[in-house]
Structure 1
Amino acid sequence: MATRAYPQFYLNDAQQNLGVMFDYAIRTLQYEGDRFFFYFIQSKVAEKFEHANPKYLAGVSGIELCENVLQKTGEKFAASQNIRIEQGAEFWTGWSLAYYQWYSGLRFSDLQEYGLVPSQILTRYILHEADISKFVEIANKIIQKNKDASPTRLQKYRKAQGMTQAKLAELSGVSLRMIQLYEQRQSDINKASGETITALARALCCNFYEIMEIELDD
């Protein structure tokens, strides 16, 4: 079972805040959902959620969260004086994202990387009538499908560095064959020794987590 992102007693507040944040951003400020989600991650406010910062989980309103995201990313916007929050599709999108991030323990940037973005969630609004476990099931399928169709993170980081497999083997001390197996998903990098993953991460100038594959909890 995945480790939950933070204590459950914060969850209701976190869901409410993200629900209000997305409703305000999309309906009132007229931001496209995926674009605003990108700003949420870019602003580092998403990380505050992931690291269980009480101020961001429960200490400010969803409207304040939204405006904080836009300020941190340098977006110019006119704060509305006529705010009406509705618990419709936009609210449910944020509410569901908050739940799934808490439940899965993944980063919001992981969700974005593998296609669990507002545009995908909005089209599945009918799920608001079902138990949240149904949304988790669908979200897992979206992420797994996109993950399977994507290169491994090890390969992405290696290519981003302009490095061949042979060069990575030379710099890390990990055999060329093992690097090939990890990139082909014939060997699970998550089951490699900490020493191996650390050596690869150092050679690629990234952290331990960045080259590990995400794991989904049923």
Structure 2
Amino acid sequence: MNAYNELYLDDAMANLGDMVEYAVCTLGYAPDDFFGWFISSGIASKFENGNPKYVAGMSGVELADAVLAAVNMQSERHHQPHLSSKGREYWAGWILAYYQWETNRRFSDMVEYGLTLSVVMSLYILHEADVSKFVESADEIIQRNKGSRKSKLQLTRKARGLTQQQLSEASGVSLRMIQLYEQKQYELAKAQAGIVLDLAKVLGCDAADLIQG
């Protein structure tokens, strides 16, 4: 299911492309720094949900300025004239908007699993290919990084200084099941709610903190 109505897609892609190009090329911010601010500002989530004000009602320059204002990064560099060259920075924002719409992934999840703005810019060789080629490459990057990352259960357990055996004994969840969840052979998100709650109680965290993004 796509993220929002396709009627907004062309505007969303153009505006995100302009936003990235303006922030990086005109204002001089590092790509991944700025995209992190886009996410932390809360504007990314509004964009993901197809809020008309953000996907179509603001220009790319206005979006960038809104992001910077939201994270208190206003400076003398703002409000510089912007002449778009439609280069790799523009393409990176443009194609990320398409990918988010097509897959309904959150921008924060993309970044968490290695699809950073700088990585997307490095794929500029695909700019003349069909968008499906980028989708395929982006999916491969995310799946590869998902597979190589430790589970949240394992990270939380180790942070608490517990062995798998100790967690099993304290929670009542079998050692074998804990191993399977940590190896991501079984998805903890699909486990019975009681299992997740028992593990979270022992680990001193919310159940949601143990679920993979």
Q: What TM-score does the superposition give when structure 2 sets the normalisation length?
A: 0.85
Q: Does 1:178 align with 2:157?
A: no
* Aligned with residue 8 of structure 1, among 6, 16, 35: 6
Percent same amino acid among aligned pairs? 50
Whether the aligned pair in 2 keeps the contact of 1:157 and 1:204 (CA below 8 Å) is: no
Alpha-carbon distance, 1:63 to partner = 0.8
Which stretch shows the higher mean deviation, 67-76 or 5-14?
5-14
* Aligned with residue 60 of structure 1, among 52, 58, 61: 58
Structure 2 gap ranges (5+): none
Listed one character per residue, the Cα deviations across residues 36-73 of structure 1 (whole Å, up to 9, x for unaligned) are: 11111111111112233221121211111111111111
Listed one character per residue, the Cα deviations across residues 76-104 of structure 1 (whole Å, up to 9, x for unaligned) are: 32223421122111011001111111222
Amino acid across the alignment from 1:123: S
Whether the aligned pair in 2 keeps the contact of 1:190 and 1:212 (CA below 8 Å) is: yes
Whether the aligned pair in 1 keeps the contact of 2:17 and 2:60 (CA below 8 Å) is: yes
* Counterpart in the other structure of 2:123: 124
Alpha-carbon distance, 1:9 to partner = 2.0
Structure 2 CA distance for aligned equivalents of residues 201 and 104 of structure 1: 30
Whether the aligned pair in 2 keeps the contact of 1:158 and 1:204 (CA below 8 Å) is: no
Which stretch shows the higher mean deviation, 25-34 or 146-155?
146-155
SS across alignment from 2:155: helix
Alpha-carbon distance, 1:115 to partner = 0.8
Structure 2 CA distance for aligned equivalents of residues 20 and 207 of structure 1: 39
Alignment of 1:178-217 (within 5 A): 178-197=177-196, 200=199, 205-206=205-206, 208=208, 211-213=210-212
Q: Does 1:90 align with 2:89?
A: yes
* Counterpart in the other structure of 2:145: 146
Alpha-carbon distance, 1:109 to partner = 1.0
Alpha-carbon distance, 1:165 to partner = 4.6
* Counterpart in the other structure of 1:21: 19
Which stretch shows the higher mean deviation, 154-163 or 102-111?
154-163
Structure 2 CA distance for aligned equivalents of residues 172 and 106 of structure 1: 33
Alpha-carbon distance, 1:170 to partner = 6.8
Structure 1 CA distance for aligned equivalents of residues 160 and 52 of structure 2: 37
Structure 2 CA distance for aligned equivalents of residues 161 and 59 of structure 1: 47
SS across alignment from 1:59: coil
Structure 2 CA distance for aligned equivalents of residues 104 and 200 of structure 1: 31
Larger-Rg structure: 2
* Counterpart in the other structure of 2:43: 45
Listed one character per residue, the Cα deviations across residues 108-164 of structure 1 (whole Å, up to 9, x for unaligned) are: 111111110111111111101000000011101111111111101333344456666
Listed one character per residue, the Cα deviations across residues 188-211 of structure 1 (whole Å, up to 9, x for unaligned) are: 334323554466567654464x54
Task: Count how many residue pairs are aligned between Structure 1 and Structure 2.
Answer: 211
Q: CA RMSD in A?
A: 2.5
Structure 2 CA distance for aligned equivalents of residues 107 and 26 of structure 1: 22
* Counterpart in the other structure of 2:74: 76
